Each structure stands twice: as C-alpha cells, then as structure tokens.
Structure 1
Amino acid sequence: MDILPRLRNRNIMIFCCGKMNKNTCYNCINNSIPEGKQIHSQTTARAFVVSTISLQQNTLINMYDKCGNCMDARKVFDKMTEPNVFSWNMILAAYRRHRLPQEVLTLFRQMQQTDVQSDQFTFSSILPVCASTGTIEYGMEIHKRIIENGFLSDIVVVNALIDMYAKCGSIRKARKSFDKMPQQNVISWNAIIAGYAQHGLVEEALETFKQMQLAGVKPDSATFASILTVCAKMGALEHGMEIHLRVVESRFLSDTIVANTLIAMYAKCGSIQKANGLFNKMPQRNVVSWNAIIAGYAQNWLTENALEIFKQMYLTGVKPNSATFASILTVCAKMGALEHGMEIHEKTMESGFFSDVVVVNTLIAMYAKCGSIQKAYKLFEKMPEPDVVSWSAIIAAYAQSGLVEKGLETFKKMHLAGVNPNSASFASILLACAKMEALEQGMEIHQKVIESGYLLDVVVVTALIDTYTKCRRIHKALRLFGKMPQRNVVSWNALIGGYAQNGLVENVFNIYKQMHLAGVNSDSSTFATVLPVCAKFGAFEQGKQIHLKIVESGFLSKVIVANALIDMYAKCGSLQKARKLFDQMHYPDVVSWTAIIAGYAMHGYRNDVLKLFEQMKHSGTNPDHIT
C-alpha cells in the first residue's frame, strides 16, 4: 500500500507532521518503526530534487532517532552526499540522546574536517558531552572555535560553556565566562551557582545568589534547588532557613522539586522536625519526596520512623524506586534489623528491582552489617556482572565481619576479574586492616595504592591514616597527613581519632585547633570524637568551649553530637547541664537515654535512674544491653 498520499492528505510536508511540529515525523509520534521503514523504502525509489532529498533524509534521521534506532539513523546519515549543519546537529543529538558520548565527540571531529560550519545548536549540544565526560581540554578547544565562529555573544552557548567548565573542575574559568557575558539570564546564574555548589564553595554560592537578586533576575526552581543543596551539604541551617523565606516569598513552596530539596536540606542539617512538617504540608508528593523524608530519618538515626514512613508510602500507593530501597536498606543495616531487611529484600523482588545493581549492592551491605555474611556472598555470587561497587561492598562485608584474609582474597579476585579498584575498594580493604590491626596487610595495600595512583585520593589516604593510627603507627599516619595536597574534614577527623585512640590528649586538642586555623570547619564526627576525650580526661573547660563551637556551627540538633555532649557534661560532674541538653532533644534515641541514665547512676541518684528508665520505656524507646 502506498501510504505517501495518506500522509500528504494530513497536510504533512514530505514526512514532517505539522500537527506536532515541523521536525517531528508522523510515524515518530506513534513510535512506528515498521511503517517508517515502509515510507523510507517508497521514498528512496522516487525522484526528488537535492534540497528535497536532504529534507527527506534529515526527517528519516529524526524518525529513527525518536524511535530509538540510532543505527539506522546513522546509516541514513552516512549515505548523505552533502549533509548540512542541520543533518550534523541531528545525528550528534541522536548519539547524545542515546548516551554515546565518545561517538558524539568523534562525529564532531569529523564535522570539523568538512566545509560545514558549526552553529549555536552544534556548540550547545557538544559542550554538555564534554561536561559529562570531563574532557576539559577538548572543551577548551571548542571554546576557541566558539570565539572564531562569533558565537560568544549567544547566551545559550555561553551557558553551556559555564556548565562545562564548572563540571570539569575549573570553576575559575566558569566564572570568567560568566563575568564576560553582556547579559545573563536565570540559566546563566543557575549554572554558576550550581558550579559553586559542586565544588562545595558555600560562601561563593550564597554571595552569587545575592548578586543574582540585586541584578533583578528572579530565581526559579533550579536556582532554589542548587542553593539549598549547598546549604544541605555544608550543614548551613541558618542560611537554609533564609532561603526558605525567599522560597515562600517567591511562591515556589508548592513546587515539588523545591519542597523536596527543602526537606533534604532540613534533614541533613539535623532539623528533622522541620523536614517532617514540610513533608506533611505538601499538596502533592512524588517518590523523591518520600525518599527525602526516609533518608532524613535515616541520617538522623531515627530508624523506626524511617521504617514507618516506608510502610506509609506503600499504603498510599506510591511505588518505591531504587533510591527508596537503597535508603530503607541502609536503615535496616544501621539498626541491624535483619528481619526487616529480609522483608524489604522480598519487596525488591516483587517490585522488579532484584537485578538492579544499586539495590543488590545495598542488600549485600545490609546483610553484611546484620551479620549474615553468607547471604551477602550468595547475592554477590549470583550477580552476572558485579561492578566495582559490588566488589567494594563484599570486601567491606568481610571487613565488618573481621574476616581480613577473606577480604584480601576477594580484593585479589577483583584484580583477576579485570575490575580496577577505586577509592571505595581501597577504603573497604583498609577498613578491614584497621579493624583487625593488621599492619602487614595494611602496608601491602599501601603499596597497591601507590601502584594504582591513588596516593593523592583524599578518601584512600584518610583510610590509610586510620589504618596506621589503629595499628599504633601514629608517626606513619602523621607523615601521610603532612604530605596530603588537599585535606578535608574526614582527614582531620582520622588524625584526631588516631591521637584520641592512642590516649594522646594534648595532641587531640592541638590538631583540633590547627584544623580550625586551616579554615576547615568541624562536622558532627569531629565533635563526636573530641567530646569523649574531654569526658574521659575530665577536660571540662575544653568541653565548654567545644559546646559553644557546636552551637555556632548549628550542630546541636545532631543526635550524635547532643549525645556526646550529655555524656561529657555528666562525666565532668555537671549533671544539670547534661539534663538540660537531654530535655531539649526532640527525638532522644537509645544512646541519649542511656547517657543520661548513666550520668545519674554515676552520681548515685538511684531513684532518678529508675524513674528515667521507666520514662524511656513509656516513650517507645527499647533499652539495649548497655542501658
């Protein structure tokens, strides 16, 4: 049957459907590859003028691309005698849509060798590929071509350029491109704010956000999402609350993306009550909203609440995704709740996530942390193609179970399987060495780290520092620390923890001071490491100073920090301060109750101890063996 007349009767120019838009083939709308191929075979047998042939071929490329058939789109393109810029743009877009970045870059190089001049659409398509692959050198070459072709004044192209530089790690070049723009739109501002966010430059991101408002550019949902992510990442609660006010003023609170980011920000800053309040007021919730509140409870160690929310999610008919299962399985791992974990495992199978690599990796970690190493290994064994994360998870499983030799054996098998270790793999195996104080094996892994070129990786070097301090080789740890080109808060925490473990009290306080002088802010782990030292050695004055720092930093709402403070005050003889802190807690956990009960017991207040114990049981918190 000749179907061309039927298409023409629909007012379609050659094969382009005017009903949708002039670049969309009628058959693409119905995703009809067989019918599209039929048109293709009919049209190739007919005579067209050159310009009409080009239009026909471009439309066919578009049809095959939209129908998910990149191979046939390429075949059409390769047969073109004179592909124009539109043809090149379409085939580049097809490969980009099908997530084939290397093919996009190769095609672009081929295009540069022809007489066809790139336009703004070519550049705005190729730059995101450079961003996703981190090929900054190639991105810089394209930057030169943009200048040569006179597209540096095109706002879409420059926005893509800013994004590319930021994602490739050159925030300075991104800012330089931004500052040179004759006019910036909301996307330009979002790109540079997101760039600062990716690099953890909180002050710069917040300052740019203020400049954006002074320039009269109204923030959109992407702006708020970026700036709130910065606040969440750095635990900047006060800044986050200021942004919340701007969200309300700008009437973006009903925007699901913004509301979800606000929930995540409050949760990560330890203000779970505010996060929960926002969640309950949401007119519409998607799976990301549920994931944010579940992760929020998990991050704040409110594991029972997280499990309860997960049940509610099911009852409301919202289907969990891999991120939901990853969050809730992490909760089960934290609780050591094997039965709950096994129930969730069944649900992953019912929901069709049994082969999802992210979910399986989290299941392996959950079983390992719940002491079921056999189940963890069984899952790993069944994986058709375990990735580097899977290998790291099973190595970490052996590490947590104290099976150092098994961990090292698996690490060697990983090498034989042709999977190169990443920073997580090294960190996992070093955890095993640290836990078992296996110095020789740790030194062996140290050598592998050097050979693999990971000696500049902050995560790996931090794990090495931890291993050496646990093996009482503090001088080796200090040497590694001194050679680090970049140190983050985790690196400082590892050294502080090492000195604390080795009973070197003065060194603990000295390193803590040096860390602040270096401009690195403490996190909850820092405070949770330093405060027990104050408690153990009765360093009351230092403890009070650290308390002030905690209040300034906004970490008092973190349960782990509040618990360490209660314990410190109780052990330093200030039971009144300990009780005041406990009474101010919104969600005391089993550790909080145990700390205050232990405080009263230590001071001989028998009746108060028994009264608190009863209150604990009535609150729904189950005592553990320590209580």
Structure 2
Amino acid sequence: MRGRCWYRHFCSHRQVRASRSREPESCSSKGTSPPRKNEWKRRPTTVAEDADVRKWNMTITAHMRDGQCESALLIFNSMPHRSVISYNAMIAGYWQNGEFGRAIEMFEKMPERDLVSWNSMISGYMRNGDVSAAIALFRQMPARDVASWNALLSGYARNGLVDEAREVFDEMPCKNNISWNSLLTAFVENGRMDEARKLFEFKTDWEVIPSNYLMAGYVKRRMLVDARQLFDRMPFKDDVSWNTMIAGYAQNDDLSEARRLFEASPARDVFAWTALMSGYVQKGMMDEATRIFDVMPEKNSVSWNAMIGGYVQSKEIDKARQLFEVMPCRDITSWNTMIAGFAQAGDISKARCMFDQMPLRDCISWAAIISGYAQTGHFEEALQLLLDMNRYGEWPNRSALTCSFSSCAEIGALKLGQQLHGYLIKAGYESGCFVANALLAMYCKCGNIEDAYDVFHGIADKDSVSLNTMLAGYARHGLLKEALIIFESMKAVVIKPNAVPP
C-alpha cells in the first residue's frame, strides 16, 4: 500500500520535478518497505549523460572511501540525473562508515532497486549484527542471485551462527567459490576443525588462499600433523603456505623441521626469516636468534621487536636498549616492550623516562608503566597514573585493572577499588579469572569480606589463587566455619592450600 501511494505521489509531481534535481522521497513509515517493481521508469538518457553520471558516481565512492559522508551526500543531491548505481554507492558508503540509519533511509528512498541494492543491505545488516533484519530483507527480495545467498551465509558466519550458515549453504540452488570459502572460514574460526576437514575433502579444486586458511587453523590449534599433510598435498604453494608451516614448527619448538622447511622454501621473504628467528627467541636461544637476525637481507618492525622482546625476556635489558636505539622503524610495540623491560628490571625511573618520551601511547603503554610502579612498591604513583590514563581518554585494560586492584589492596584504597569494580562490570572484564582474583584479594585485604564473597561466587572457573585468596580472607577475619568449607572444597579438587599469612 505504501509503495503504491508513493508511486501516485511521484506521478502527480513528475512534470514539476522534471526540471529539478531528483531528490529521494521520504517514506512516511519506518522499517523496510516491501519490494517494488518498475516503480520508476527513467527517461531515456544520452551517452554523454550516462558518462556524466558515472563520473558523479565515482566521485561519491571516492568521498565515501575517505569517510567524507557529508561531501558525498552533497554531490549526490547536486546530481542532475541519478542511476541506481548512485544510490548503491551511497548505501555502501554509509555502511562502510558506520552510518547504519542513513543507509537504511537511503535504501527506503530508492525509486528503483537492483540486486546489488538488496545484497548491500543484507551484508550491512549482518555486519551490524542485526541478523533478524537481514533475514527479513532476504525473504522480501523479488529475485535472488548467488551473491544474495552468499551475503546471508557469510553474515551468519560473521555472527557465529555456524549451524545456520551450514543450512543456508545446503539450501543454495547454486554455489560458487565464495560460498565454499565462507563456510570453510566459519568452521575454522569457530574451531570446528573436523567439519572443516570434511568440507575441504568433499571439494577437489580449492584455491591456495582457503587451503592456507585451513592450514593456519590447524597450526593455531597445534594440529601440526594435519597441517603438514595438507601442505604436502597442495598442488601449488605460495609464500604464505611456506611461512605458515615454518611458523607453526617454530612456535611449537620443532626448530629443526622449521629450519629444514626454511632451507627448502623457494622464496625466503622477511616473514619466513622472522618466523624462524622468533622460534629461537621463544626458546631462549638468543645467540642463534642473533645470528639469524644479523644475516637477514631485510628486516621489518616485527623482526626488530621480536629481538628486543627476546632480550627483555632473557633479562638482557642493555642489549635490548642498544637494539632499540639503532632501530630504524620504532613503533608503539617497541616502546611498550622497553617500558616493560625496564619495569621488570626494577628500573622504574628509566621506564618512566621512556614512557614520557613516547610519541604515541595506547592502553598497553599505560598498563606497562602502571604495572612497573605497582611491582616496585610505588602503589600511590600507580593509582595516580591510572587516574591520568582516564584523564587522557584511554580506557584501562585487564592488565592495568589487575595492577590497580593490587595497589588499592596494598594501601587500603577501598573506595577507589569499588569505583574500579564498577568500571570492570561495565567493560565486561569481570568474567576473567586473572583480574577477578586481584579484585577478590583487594576486598579481602581491605576488610570487605561480603563483597569478596560476591566476587568469589561470581568467578565461573575458580583456580587455586581464587580458592587460596578466599580461604585466607575468611581465616584473617575469624570466619573459621566458612574457611573450613573452602578448605574441604580444595581437598576435593586436589588443590593444596597455601599457608595463611598472619
């Protein structure tokens, strides 16, 4: 009904609007309008006009790519003639720039739609997590192509709905490589490696990119035998294939096989060199890592940072500093590693000096310096840095919060600890056992055993630290009956209680 009313309104004003710029009409009701067929019959255009429209469309796309939505809209509204591609460019640009409401509004104002219009909206809804709206739109489509089905399939996968993605895949009247790749990616990303293997074996003409993705999934889950079998069966291997296997063996301490593959690799790029070197760094074999680093024909920031991190890990802070000083391409990771290194070495003054010299900081930088102050007993300074962090508009991560709770516990700053607890809940960090244990210890040491009890029972997967902390808290406050209950539960799961401090 709304579509027909719009059509009558449009026809009644067609002669008046013929000499004006065609502005998209607003629909009176919200939501997605039903499908409309041939509602707008464009007047015939000349070749010159079509070429002109293409130039306008390219300009819109360029502005949207640069995030200039208002400039793109100004151009769109200035166009003497618009095609459906003009509308599609605006819709795609709005989705790309997070302007979800404006994308929906533009879609509803379209005088005519093609498959690209519908598919773009389905993909946009899925990227925005609005699965129900995407499904509703898919069902309204007057016609569908394989891209429509792929948009639904990949959208389900993006939102973790793997079973639904499989159902769409099975229902598809026609599949292409994108369909197969999307489902394979969904299985791998969600750790369903058996299903990924079965899907991969069902098809024989996989390209190298999905093959590499499956191999990387195996490597990530330490399934090196499966990864190697896939690698050996691949009819064509690119640099990513070789580098994935080299990194897999290096990360899993099989340096001899990593080296053998490295030597057999037809093209050793900087990633192959870095993967091998990082394996030696991870194992603490810094002399061999240094030899590889010195002969590398090309180095990137990852290579330098791996070596600096290796020296920090092996407590050779002077060598790390020397390498940092000559590094041609320092990034924020380089600075953060050095701050953490000086803090771990107990040299908080140098860590602070490095922090103050940073051209750019992130939450990891703040967490590193806060941790350094907390670890060296400067608890008030650690908490002051946390306040500074908030003042600079940076939100604390789990590490910063953990150190802050420990500092609150040491100086008895219960009120600040409670405020941080509120932020912890809002940020969704309370489920992590590591930070929850620090919060639990803070409440116990500050004498708030009731809140400590609530935190303790909110920890889904309690570890020995959780149990020992709660046991010590009860014992310190003379709650021997409650302490005995914790003690008996620890015996049931074979956790050894620590000595309760006086």
* TM-score, normalised via structure 2 length: 0.65
Structure 2 distance, partners of 1:312, 1:257, is 21
For 2:424, the equivalent position in structure 1 comes to 550
Q: Which residue of structure 1 aligns with residue 62 of structure 2?
A: 161
- Given the alignment, which residue of 250, 266, 278 partners 1:384? 266
Change (3 A) 1:482 1:570: closer
Offset of 1:343 from its aligned partner?
A: 2.0
Question: What is aligned with 1:176?
Answer: 71
Indicate if the aligned counterparts of 1:462 and 1:494 stay in contact, CA closer than 8 A. Answer: yes
Residues 53-64 of structure 1 mapped to structure 2, 5 A cutoff: none
Is 1:212 matched with 2:103? Answer: yes
Matches within 5 A, 1:236-315: 243-251=130-138, 255-257=149-151, 260-261=154-155, 263-264=157-158, 275=160, 278-282=161-165, 283-285=167-169, 286-292=180-186, 294-296=188-190, 306=191, 309-315=192-198
How many pairs align? Answer: 397
Distance in 2 separating the partners of 1:447 and 1:408: 16
Give the equivalent residue in structure 1 for 2:305: 427
Range with bigger deviation, 153-162 or 533-542: 533-542
Give deviations 1:233-286, integer Å, cap 9, x for gaps. Answer: xxxxxxx55x34543453489954455456545xxxxxxxxx3xx222331354
CA contact (8 A) 1:578 1:596 kept: no
Give 1:473-552 correspondences, 5 Å limit. 473-527=347-401, 530-531=404-405, 540-552=414-426
Q: 1:613 to 1:458 in 2, by over 3 A?
A: same
Q: Give ranges in structure 1 of 5+ residues lacking alignment.
A: 1-118, 122-149, 197-204, 230-239, 266-274, 297-305, 333-340, 618-622
Which residue is 1:19 aligned to? Answer: none
Alpha-carbon offset, residue 310 of structure 1: 0.7
Question: Quick one: structure 1 residues 563 and 426, their matched pair in 2 at CA, closer, same or farther if it must change by over 3 Å?
Answer: same
Q: 1:460 to 1:512 in 2, by over 3 A?
A: same
* Structure 1 stretch displaced more, 184-193 or 350-359: 350-359
**C-alpha distance in structure 1 between counterparts of 2:345 and 2:372, whole Å:** 9
Aligned to 1:76: none
Structure 1's 565 and 179: CA in aligned 2 closer, same or farther, altered over 3 A? farther
Distance 1:405 1:343, change over 3 A: same
Of 322, 326, 337, 1:448 maps to 326
Q: Which residue of 1 aligns with 2:289?
A: 407
Q: 1:29-69: CA deviations, max 9, x gaps? A: xxxxxxxxxxxxxxxxxxxxxxxxxxxxxxxxxxxxxxxxx
Query: What fraction of aligned residue pairs are identical, expressed as a percent?
Result: 17
Moved more, 600-609 or 493-502: 600-609
What letter corresponds to residue 380 of structure 1 in structure 2? F
Q: 1:318 to 1:498 in 2, by over 3 A?
A: farther
**1:453-485: CA deviation from partner (whole Å, max 9, x where unpaired):** x24x33333333333433444444434433444
- Contact kept? 1:330, 1:362, Cα under 8 Å: no
Relative to 1, partners in 2 of residues 1:502 and 1:372: Cα closer, same or farther, differing over 3 Å?
A: farther
Where structure 2 has 5 or more consecutive residues not aligned to the other structure, the ranges are 1-47, 80-85, 110-116, 141-147, 170-179, 204-209, 476-482
Does residue 352 in structure 1 map to residue 259 in structure 2?
Answer: no
Aligned-residue CA RMSD (Å): 4.0
- Aligned residue identity for 2:454: K
Counterparts of 1:49-198 in structure 2 under 5 Å?
A: 151=52, 154-162=55-63, 166=66, 171=67, 176-182=71-77, 185-191=87-93, 193-194=95-96, 196=97
The aligned amino acid for 1:288 is S
Residues 528-561 of structure 1: per-residue CA shift (max 9 Å, x gap) = 554555567765544432332132234445xxx3
> Hey, what's the Cα distance between the residues in 1 that align with 2:288 and 2:102?
55
Distance 1:328 1:259 in 2: 23
Following superposition, the deviation at residue 403 of structure 1 comes to 2.3
Q: CA offset at residue 510 of structure 1? A: 2.4
The reply on whether 1:565 has 2:439 as its aligned counterpart is no
